């Protein structure tokens, strides 16, 4: 779901990081009590309740707020020449995403999007196998992301249920991750045929005797064609009863196939050319990506480590003056697919990107 940053900082809408040697680290949010607690627990030097007060001071800017506050602060940081890291999806709307990507291009500093699943060692291992040609000509990509945290119609309303703040529901919240992995592993998407569904039209407001409308999708599915001819299917739901965090990727080629499940993130199922079935590869060897930084060989890592990996890569790019991927340009590419799925559903027809 990509909520780790938001969960870690509780009610804080965004947080800024800075160079320790100048003692300017500051955490920013709207709730002073939560800010003070976060600063004490995480070692920030000070707090602020208005990002505008500190935007020109920081060396690195992390925007971990809800989708509707991604654009303005991130663009301001980039215009100040500050490397910027933003939660996914890049923005609630395509227009905002385009403005953010333009600002990143003009700034010429690292600008990254929090697609942390790129940094799962098994996904990196899958990428290497595909690039080495072990799968041959790719034919199919299949990606699904299933959760069940909204099955109960009495589950409380949140900003994730509101189109103005979130942009979309399961599509942007979960589907953005799948679309990014599709682009990372297979290539750009050329056409989509999308379908959205909302199962519960309103939800109770926590602590109040009222309800608010749900204006986003609870589930989506899409048929896609990639520019390289690969055929794909995408799906996400927050109503998949019994599924807690089931992000599954399958890729089939002329010589072999791969299967990955986030619920078994240290494993990659591999079908090799000439084999009669899949074998399970444990991606925990020292030569596997990032593994040598953790435990002895064979010891598994967890979901939280993916955030360490992405932050290591982003901050390394900042320190070395290099480029970072997934960039704002990647975030914009994903946003274009999200927008195309919505337009396809509205029109009832296939949409080209």
Nearest to 39 by CA among 56, 15, 3, 57: 15
Asked if residue 268 lies in contact with residue 251, where contact means CB atoms within 8 angstroms, the answer is no
Q: Within its chain, how far is the Cα of 352 from the centroid?
A: 23
pLDDT category of residue 17 using cuts at 50, 70 and 90? low
CB 334 within 8 A of CB 89: yes
Instruction: Name the nearest CA neighbour of 257 among 247, 268, 267.
Output: 268
Is 258 in contact with 268 (CB distance < 8 Å)?
A: yes
Sequence-distant (6+) residues with CB within 8 A of 100 are 70, 71, 74, 75, 78, 86, 90, 91, 111, 328, 331, 332
DSSP percent split of the chain into helix, strand, coil, nearest 5? 35, 25, 40
Instruction: Report the mean per-residue pLDDT for the chain.
Output: 92
**CA distance linking residue 233 with residue 341, whole number of Å:** 12
The 10 Å Cβ neighbour count of residue 345 is 21
Whats the size of the chain, residue-wise?
353
Residues 6+ apart with CB under 8 A from 26: 16, 18, 44, 45, 46, 47, 48, 54, 57, 58
Nearest to 61 by CA among 91, 90, 36, 81: 81
The β-bridge relationship of strands 26-28 and 14-17 is antiparallel
Cα torsion 285, 289, 294, 300: sign: negative
Residue 151 pLDDT > 80, yes or no?
A: yes
What span, in angstroms and rounded, lies between the C-alpha atoms of 343 and 101?
21
Could you read off the pLDDT of 100-144 as tens digits, one per residue?
A: 999 999 999 999 999 999 999 999 999 999 999 999 999 999 999
Element spanning 59, H or E: none
Taking a C-beta distance cutoff of 8 angstroms, is the pair 300, 266 a contact?
A: yes
For 304, the 3-state DSSP assignment is helix
Q: How far apart are CA 81 and CA 265, in angstroms?
A: 36
**Residue for token pair 């994730």:** 160
pLDDT tens per residue across span 51-98: 898 888 888 999 999 999 999 999 999 999 999 999 999 999 999 999
pLDDT tens per residue, range 234-245: 999 999 999 999
| Residue 163 to residue 323: CA distance in whole angstroms | 32
Q: Tokens standing for 128? A: 């290497």
pTM of the full structure: 0.92
Does residue 230 or residue 44 have the better pLDDT? 230
pLDDT at 148: 98
- What residue ranges define each of the domains in the chain, with the CATH number in brackets? 4-109 (3.40.50.720), 117-301 (3.30.360.10)
């Amino acid at each position: 779901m990509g909520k780790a940053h938001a969960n870690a900082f509780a009610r804080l809408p965004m947080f800024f990081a800075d160079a320790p040697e100048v003692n300017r680290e500051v955490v920013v949010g709207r709730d002073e009590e939560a800010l003070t607690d976060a600063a004490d627990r995480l070692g920030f030097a000070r707090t602020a309740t208005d990002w505008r007060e500190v935007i020109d001071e920081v060396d690195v800017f992390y925007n971990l707020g809800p989708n509707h506050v991604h654009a303005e602060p991130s663009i301001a940081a980039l215009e100040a020449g500050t490397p910027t890291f933003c939660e996914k999806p890049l923005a609630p709307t395509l227009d905002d995403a385009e403005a953010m990507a333009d600002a990143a291009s003009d700034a010429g500093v690292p600008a990254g999007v929090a697609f942390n699943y790129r940094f799962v060692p098994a996904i990196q291992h899958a990428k290497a196998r595909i690039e080495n040609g072990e799968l041959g000509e790719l034919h199919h990509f299949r990606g699904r992301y299933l959760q069940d945290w909204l099955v109960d119609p009495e589950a409380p309303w949140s900003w994730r249920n509101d189109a103005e703040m979130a942009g979309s529901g399961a599509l942007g919240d979960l589907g953005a991750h799948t679309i990014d992995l599709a682009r990372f592993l297979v290539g750009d998407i050329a056409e989509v045929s999308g379908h959205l569904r909302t199962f519960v039209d309103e939800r109770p407001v926590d602590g109040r005797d009222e309800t608010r409308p749900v204006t986003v999708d609870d589930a989506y599915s899409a048929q896609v064609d990639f520019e390289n001819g690969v055929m794909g299917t995408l799906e996400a739901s927050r109503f998949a009863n019994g599924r807690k965090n089931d992000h599954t990727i399958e890729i089939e080629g002329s010589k072999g196939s791969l299967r990955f499940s986030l619920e078994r993130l240290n494993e990659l199922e591999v079908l090799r050319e000439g084999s009669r079935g899949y074998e399970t590869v444990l991606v925990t060897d020292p030569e596997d990506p990032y593994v040598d930084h953790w435990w002895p060989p064979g010891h598994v890592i967890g979901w939280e480590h993916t955030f360490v990996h992405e932050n290591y890569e982003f901050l390394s790019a900042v320190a070395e003056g290099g480029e970072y991927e997934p960039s704002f340009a990647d975030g914009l590419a994903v946003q274009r697919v999200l927008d195309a799925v919505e337009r396809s559903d509205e029109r009832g027809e296939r949409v080209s990107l």
